[in-house]
Amino acid sequence: MAAVDRARVSVSPFGYPQVSRGQQSIAAAMDLTMSDDEDEVNIEHSLFAHICTPAKFPNAQAFIDLTSDSEDNEDVQTLTSVIQNVSGPSRVADIDKMEHGQFAQSSRSILRVMKRQASGQPAPTRHFLEATIGGILYRAGMSLELKDGSFLRIEQVDPMPFDVRFTGRHLFRATHPHVKMYLPKQENELIWVTQKMDSVGSKHVKKICDIRFTNHRTDFDEPTAELTCRLKLTIRQQGVVIIPDQHPLTTDQTAIEYLNFRESDAGFGKTSIQLRDEWRGQGRTTFFGEGQASADEMHNDRDVIDLTGTVTGKAQAYTFGDAYCGGGGMSCGARQAGLDIRWAVDNSDHAVDTYQRNFDGVEIEHADFFSFLTNDPNWTRVDICHCSPPCQTFSPAHTVQCAKDDANSACIFSAGSLCRSAKPRVLTMEETAGLPERWAEIFHRVLLDLVEIGYSLRWSVLRCDDYGVPQERKRLVVIAAGPGETLPHFPQPTHGLISAPGLLPRTTIWSAIADIPDDTRNHDVEKALHRWRLAHRAPFDGHRPAKTITCGGGEYNYHPTGLRPFTDREMACLQTFPMEFEFSDSNVRKQIGNAVPPFLAKAVYTEVAQSLRESDAKEASGVWH
């Protein structure tokens, strides 16, 4: 058989047409039982596809009539001239409940395929936006219910010699048994699974249906009358490159995102500014932050330039609040990333003492978290919040129950309460790496609480040594973006194996502790030697990362000589606290072990701040998202 010339047109996830680079392409349609000179092919299941001119269907791109007797089908050449006028989903009368078998009208028919001489190097296959089957028009923008109970929003139609295939967004009901518990369970709420563009044949189609794609927030306690998609789910596996020309992921990550304005159907989308104002209050958000950049940020000579070319001053910064701040590991990294720390809260005397010694001008409240929430919301409101509730109850190292377990377990659900009070544009959480697997039901409830109030989420178990931390430490990190905000990515790794191109080598024990001055506070080497004078350990190579630092030091964590344990200052350096960071007079080791490594915090908040700056620059220049 001769080849078929198809107009290659694809549709972006936002419903807009995109012309492929290949303008001259040939798609071969072969039948091994026939010669090239034969035009007619008998097929068992008839496929009715029809080429019509733009005059007859002004919004149609073109579609092939495989049953036509006419040899003159030059209308195909007009495809590229009409693809710029794609309309929204067509309304086809009286077929909403039509089953697939009803439009498979004939068991046999004649398939006539146009011949076209191919010359030169073959180009990529072209695709269609429309096709008819049994007299029914299928076009990009329509939605289909499939026989397996899932759904498809058509973005591309591919007539085949013996079938037609639909490619597009694949959706599942939120009540589907395989949908995770962190998604709201509403019968008519659909979840768009974005891993790939799924393709199905016509035999899998049950019927045409209406699905509304919207970014409007809703009360998930109220039933939805129509099939509606407002959330998309993305699961990325390790080894996948998320950002072009960057290093691949070293861990898996998952994201639940509300659709944005461009992904919503016409008339059902709100701009980022509208959504943000509804959540935080009109005029309550200052582009590029209303804070002042810290001294650390003032040295880095980085200007922020918006899309209009206007330079925003270095002094402007996003504001930050730290709940369950401990000694200040997360705040330390936030300050290094240029954030303006406004408040912190913790219930530990020793942690508050340490925090006050290192963060002048920050309002540090010595209180339990839920008492802190009674403060005026206008005072707690910041651009970025962090929430690290006590995680000992959920840690693999926690093997003995204690009196504080119930109270600590209750604190894990405090992120949603913090968002309702402070209404941050971005919230971060950090917890033990074992929470998602060992305590999945609790973790999913934490995520669901944030989704139900309108936040998009991304989470992963990050390797701290990917970001210059000299220890084999893994931590669960959650990034949540409020209504109207773009969900930031995780930072790309900066350190790795020596053979990895573009990455710094992993930081080692010796490189972290070798240059500590003898008179440094919390660095009594003689005392450490005396403690182990009768119980030396086996020496080991210090040119590698340490084991995970814990409140008690961590299993097998001692000086590479084997003659002594690490000093408190050495442990602080292994956690990447700066040398000048001052700790309280007691409970030092516990504060260090509980802390988020500042290098990890800096990497996360540098990425978060950059994401906010990019979004603010677009909006300041009138670009909606």
Active site residues: 391
Tell me which residue of 384, 379, 328 sits closest to 582, measured CA to CA: 328
Q: What gap in Å lies between CA 109 and CA 466, rounded to an integer?
A: 61
Q: What gap in Å lies between CA 433 and CA 477, rounded to an integer?
A: 9
- Indicate the DSSP class of residue 546: B
Q: How many CB atoms lie within 10 A of CB 88?
A: 14
Is 414 buried (19+), middle (13-18) or exposed (0-12) by CB count in 10 A? Answer: buried
Q: Structure tokens of 318?
A: 């996003």
Single-letter amino acid, residue 183 = L
Q: What gap in Å lies between CA 339 and CA 342, rounded to an integer?
A: 9
Q: Structure tokens of 35?
A: 């010669």
Using DSSP's 3-state secondary structure scheme, residue 150 falls into coil
Q: What gap in Å lies between CA 243 and CA 232, rounded to an integer?
A: 19
Please give the full DSSP string across 293-306, using - where no structure is assigned: --HHHHTS---EE-
Q: In this structure, are residues 598 and 470 in contact, taking their beta carbons and an 8 Å threshold? A: no
Q: What gap in Å lies between CA 548 and CA 532, rounded to an integer?
A: 21
Please give the full DSSP string across 452-513, using - where no structure is assigned: HTT-EEEEEEEEGGGGT-SB--EEEEEEEE-TT---PPPPPP-EE-TTSTT-EEPP-HHHHH
SS (H, E, C) 37-93: CCCEEEECCCCCCCCCCCCCCCCCCCCCCCCCCCCCCHHHHHHHHHHHHCCCCCCCC
Q: What gap in Å lies between CA 608 and CA 616, rounded to an integer?
A: 12
Tell me which residue of 384, 373, 374, 438 sits closest to 409, measured CA to CA: 438
Q: Structure tokens of 349?
A: 């005397």
Single-letter amino acid, residue 393 = T
